């Protein structure tokens, strides 16, 4: 006899036996439990299989019973909030073994309601409340003839719901619940909680719930919602649910077909135009709300916040905010691509309008200069982007030069990035860095560190860097030795190869050759190291409070750039674009050998900008900075040779060796930085000191 069978046998001796459509219930008055064992008849199993193409869940599917327990907790806490009394019998235990599962709930003293009219009046109060929060209503629906049997009348005249678990898919639901089910793609419905509706209700009434039943009850309610969502997902993942999937497919296809009509629906466009007229007020309120939010979160002090709020009254700022607000208003009813088209057209229209009026002498030179600062090509291009294009006017000069306000608005825009990237990637650190008194942008950073170029500072810094680099010399030596050995072998092969290749260099230095592969591989490894550096930094205790937290973004951003460079270099993407420019469009670049060199110069501008912005982080990285400078120097030599040396000359042979060695030094720098960050990670079991108290990770 299994443990479960023994448990049921022990309780059966002093229990009353009851049952429902799909279960047998032991009412154990000695222990105060109602033990439910599901064993539905064949027609109930058949109906469930026809609905969901799976066995009846409460027999063996433990996740479905854990979802039922969470559902009871949600109903308990909410009835306590609504009526001041918990009207749901609690779940005490769930036990599963090879024979199936049993569901053990609290035994409620009382009897089945004798006054059916009064019992249905109670159900009429409960059912609409359940529908409002997304709970299933079949078991408490007054139209369900079995519903009064699911409640018990206690000796004090109150009612308790003892059964919230259905035996069949809900055949009858209120119209609103049918709509909820169709929107969620959950047809048929079987004890399903429409979790999005539940979360919305709890968020809307959180303060009222906390005031009525206390913070512990609110936390228990929120935890039960999370638990139900997880358990329901596990339970339903084991079932085919063909009808639900078919419904979702139909809704998806229908949405795709109807979507363009919704975008072009005249009332939608008229709403966008009316909303755009009040753009300045929309943007000003949005900016003020963003400032206050950052103050409440502690990311912005009151002095900086007041400065940002005062700057909202400047004439140039008001002009930009009017157009920013118009973009926000346009984006609410108009989705991609219509929203992007209208935003782009808005910016271009106002720029052309001002230029034409200036030609006709209807605007002053000052107004023209102001329009050129606001309606720029950059703003127009960014406004066409889905989502983030709503906030394109943030990069207009009047806002761009207002550092605190720019940081606030940028922070608010970054919060719109999907997949919770704002929180997951700690982007608040970057916006706080812009707004607060920490390191500024490139001009300020250079100005603050100008004195460091004095000879004695340079010598001291150089000695310290060499001292810190000493511990990593074996690693650097191995990487450089691999590069030198590869160059030696490749050079020898190059000199000895005379037959079999149209160009002798094709065997070693040519496209997809070993040197090209090694170079691209080193760039890809550097990019991967940058990604790991960033994530390991944010694994450090109190990483967000460290002065070098903003600098951590250099490693992941530059790492992404190096990955792209590796792919570009290996597959010669920019060379292909150069061919399109030169042969397809007839474009030539003065002073450069090839048209594709313009793309390489663009990469260089991006790299210099990154170095300028994150100069503080690079100077703090004493051991890796000399390696980065050396690698960058080799790459500059390689690019100079590529730009100006004519192919066939001896000097052109310097390009590949300097390029390879440069990438080797860059890989060394990233691996050295990775070792430094990894050395700061606490060992497993080592306490982390936070606010003076040791905490074991």
Q: How far apart are CA 330 and CA 390, in angstroms?
A: 8
- 676-695 b/e with 16+ CB inside 10 Å = b? bbeeeeeeeeeeeeeeeeee
User: Which structure tokens are listed for 153?
Assistant: 């009348």
Share of the chain above pLDDT 90, in %: 25
Q: Helices 195-204 & 206-213, crossing angle to 10 degrees?
A: 70
pLDDT of residue 452: 55
Q: Higher confidence at residue 211 or residue 408?
A: 211
- Mean pLDDT lowest for which of 118-122, 138-142, 185-189, 412-416? 412-416
Residues in CB range of 566: below 8 A, 6 or more apart = 519, 520, 521, 522, 523, 524, 527
Give the pLDDT score at 447.
Answer: 52
> Residue 414's pLDDT is what?
74
Q: Pick from 584, 578, 555: which is nearest to 666 by CA?
A: 555
With residue 399 as reference, give the H or E element that holds it: helix 397-400
Which of 255-264, 458-467, 640-649 is predicted with the least confidence, judged by mean pLDDT?
255-264
Per-residue pLDDT band for 269 (boundaries 50, 70, 90) equals very low
The string of pLDDT tens digits covering residues 344-376 is 888 888 889 888 888 888 888 888 888 888 888
* Sequence-distant (≥ 6) Cβ neighbours of residue 664 within 8 angstroms: 479, 480, 482, 483, 522, 631
Q: Which two tokens stand for residue 40?
A: 């539905």
Bond into 337 cis (ω within 30): yes
Quick: pLDDT tens for 502-556.
Answer: 454 455 766 677 888 899 899 999 999 999 999 898 888 777 777 778 888 899 9
Q: How far apart are CA 62 and CA 269, in angstroms?
A: 51
**Which pLDDT belongs to residue 280?**
60
Q: What is the pLDDT of residue 586?
A: 65
What 3-state DSSP class applies to 537?
helix
Name 313's Cβ contacts closer than 8 Å, sequence gap at least 6. Answer: none
Mean pLDDT over the full length of the chain = 80
DSSP class of 551: T
So where are the chain's domains? 3-250, 265-438, 447-682
pLDDT mean over 402-406: 70
pLDDT at residue 690 in the model: 34
CB 334 within 8 A of CB 263: yes
Tell me if residue 91 falls in helix, strand or coil.
strand
Give me the pLDDT at residue 641, please: 79
Spatial distance between the Cα atoms of 230 and 221, rounded to a whole number of angstroms: 15
Distances (CA, A) of 37 to 25, 104, 117, 170: 6, 9, 30, 21
pLDDT of residue 287: 75
pLDDT at residue 14 above 90?
no
In the chain, DSSP finds a helix count (H) and a strand count (E) of: 31, 9
At CB < 8 A and 24+ separation, what contacts does 409-414 make? 409/287, 409/290, 409/324, 410/434, 411/290, 411/294, 411/299, 411/435, 412/286, 412/287, 412/290, 412/293, 413/388
CA angle 470, 476, 478 (to 5 degrees): 125
Closest CA to 36 of 1, 81, 82, 72: 72
**Is-contact 298 359, C-beta < 8 A?**
no
Long-range Cβ contacts of 625-629 (<8 Å, 24+ apart): 625/465, 625/669, 626/462, 626/465, 626/466, 626/469, 627/469, 627/476, 627/665, 627/666, 627/668, 627/669, 627/672, 628/665, 628/666, 628/669
pLDDT at 448 over 60: no
Q: What string of H, E and C letters represents the secondary structure of 15-59?
A: EEEEECCCEEEEEECCCCEEEEEECCCHHHHHHHHHHHCCCCHHH
């Amino acid at each position: 006899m299994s443990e479960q069978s023994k448990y049921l046998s022990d309780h059966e001796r002093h229990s009353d036996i009851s049952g429902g459509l799909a279960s047998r219930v032991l009412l154990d008055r000695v222990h105060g439990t109602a033990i439910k064992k599901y064993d539905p008849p064949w027609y109930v199993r058949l109906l469930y299989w026809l609905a969901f193409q799976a066995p009846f869940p409460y027999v063996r599917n433990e996740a479905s019973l854990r979802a039922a327990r969470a559902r009871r907790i949600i109903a308990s806490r909410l009835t306590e909030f609504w009526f001041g009394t918990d009207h749901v019998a609690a779940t005490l235990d769930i036990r599963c073994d090879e024979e199936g599962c049993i569901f053990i709930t609290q035994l409620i003293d009382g009897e089945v309601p004798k006054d059916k009219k009064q019992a249905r009046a109670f159900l009429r109060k409960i059912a609409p409340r359940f529908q409002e929060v997304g709970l299933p209503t079949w078991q408490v629906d007054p139209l369900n003839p079995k519903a009064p049997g699911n409640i018990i009348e206690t000796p004090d005249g109150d009612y308790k719901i003892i059964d919230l678990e259905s035996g069949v898919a809900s055949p009858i639901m209120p119209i609103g619940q049918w709509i909820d089910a169709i929107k969620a793609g959950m047809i048929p419905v079987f004890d399903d909680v429409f979790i999005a509706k539940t979360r919305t209700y709890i968020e809307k009434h959180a303060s009222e719930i906390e005031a009525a039943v206390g913070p512990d009850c609110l936390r228990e309610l929120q935890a039960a919602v999370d638990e139900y969502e997880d358990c329901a997902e596990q339970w339903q993942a084991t079932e085919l649910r063909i009808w639900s999937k078919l419904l979702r497919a139909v809704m998806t296809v229908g949405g795709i077909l109807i979507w363009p009509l919704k975008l072009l629906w005249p009332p939608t466009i008229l709403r966008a135009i009316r909303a755009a007229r009040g753009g300045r007020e929309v943007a000003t309120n949005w900016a003020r709300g963003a400032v206050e939010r950052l103050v409440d979160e502690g990311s912005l002090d009151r002095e900086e916040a007041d400065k940002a709020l005062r700057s909202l009254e400047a004439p140039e700022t008001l002009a930009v905010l009017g157009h920013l607000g118009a973009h926000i208003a346009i984006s609410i009813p108009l989705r991609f691509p219509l929203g992007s088209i209208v935003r782009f057209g808005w910016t271009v229209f106002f720029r052309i309008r001002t230029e034409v009026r200036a030609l006709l002498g209807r605007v002053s030179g000052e107004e023209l200069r102001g329009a050129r600062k606001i309606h720029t090509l950059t703003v127009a291009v960014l406004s066409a982007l889905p989502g983030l294009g709503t906030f394109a006017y943030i990069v207009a000069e009047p806002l761009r030069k207002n550092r605190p306000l720019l940081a606030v608005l940028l922070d608010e825009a970054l919060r719109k990035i999907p997949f919770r990237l704002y929180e997951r990637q700690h982007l608040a650190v970057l916006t706080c860095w812009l707004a607060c008194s920490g390191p500024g942008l490139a001009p300020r950073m250079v100005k603050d560190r100008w004195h460091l170029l004095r000879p004695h500072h340079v010598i001291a810094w150089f000695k310290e860097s060499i001292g810190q680099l000493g511990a990593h010399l074996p690693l650097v030596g191995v990487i450089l030795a691999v590069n030198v050995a590869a160059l030696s072998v490749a050079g020898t092969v190059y000199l000895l190869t005379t037959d079999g290749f149209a160009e002798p260099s094709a065997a070693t230095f040519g496209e997809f050759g070993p040197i090209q592969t090694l170079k691209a591989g080193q760039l890809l490894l550097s990019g991967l190291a940058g990604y790991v550096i960033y994530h390991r930094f944010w694994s450090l205790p109190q990483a967000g409070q460290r002065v070098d937290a903003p600098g951590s973004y250099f490693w992941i951003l530059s790492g992404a750039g190096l990955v792209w460079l590796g792919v570009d270099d290996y597959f010669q993407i920019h060379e292909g674009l150069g061919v399109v420019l030169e042969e397809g469009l007839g474009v030539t670049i003065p002073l450069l050998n090839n048209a594709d060199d313009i793309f390489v110069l663009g990469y260089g501008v991006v790299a210099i900008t990154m170095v300028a912005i994150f100069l503080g982080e690079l100077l703090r990285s004493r051991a890796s900075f000399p390696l980065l400078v050396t690698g960058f120097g080799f790459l500059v030599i390689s690019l100079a040779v590529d730009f100006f040396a004519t192919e066939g000359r001896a000097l052109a042979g310097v390009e590949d060796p300097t390029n390879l060695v440069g990438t080797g030094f860059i890989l060394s720098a990233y691996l050295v930085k990775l070792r430094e960050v990894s050395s700061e990670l606490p060992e497993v079991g080592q306490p982390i000191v936070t606010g003076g108290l040791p905490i074991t990770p």
